[in-house]
Amino acid sequence: MTTSSEPLPRDDQNPEVGLLDTSVVIDLELIATERLPARVAIASVTLAELGAGLHTTDDPIERAARLGRLQVVEASMEPLPFDTTAARAYSQLVALVIAAGQSPRPRRSDLMIAAIAAGNDLPLYTRNPSDFAALARALAVVAV
């Protein structure tokens, strides 16, 4: 698995590139390399979620582990931003969630990550594929 700060392709010519959901980043050490794309990207929203996660535990050992994970991710992966293209994709994804009879409110971060994947024409690799089931028409979701 390699990471890079150079732009990712915006077509389907390289299926070996994918965006990792926060759930995958958290469990990265537990996931077999063959189950992941050869070249990975993360969303800026994932950095926000990892940073916020530091404040959601009172266990100092768990907090230290989370901080270590965040530092490794920040040092080794260049996140894709939530930009204008992602903002446009986000509104479409919200529409799909509502059409599926679900509320987009508790899914905001997931929808923003999915919008970054959709806006960059990348499949989304996740440990929680059911969280993205309503989005199947808009992007490829890969369960790991």
pLDDT score, position 78: 87
The structure's pTM equals 0.86
Q: Quick one: how far is CA 1 from the chain centroid?
A: 16
Q: Where are the domains of the chain?
A: 17-42+81-143
- Segment 82-100, tens digit of pLDDT: 999 999 999 999 999 999 9
- Superfamily for domain range 17-42+81-143: 5'-nuclease (3.40.50.1010)
pLDDT bracket for residue 11 (50, 70, 90):
very low
Burial class (CB in 10 A: 0-12, 13-18, 19+), 135: buried
Which residues, 6 or more positions from 64, have their beta carbon under 8 angstroms from its beta carbon? none
Cβ atoms within 10 Å of 118's Cβ, excluding its own? 24
User: pLDDT of 38-72, one tens digit each?
Assistant: 999 999 999 999 999 999 999 999 999 999 999 99
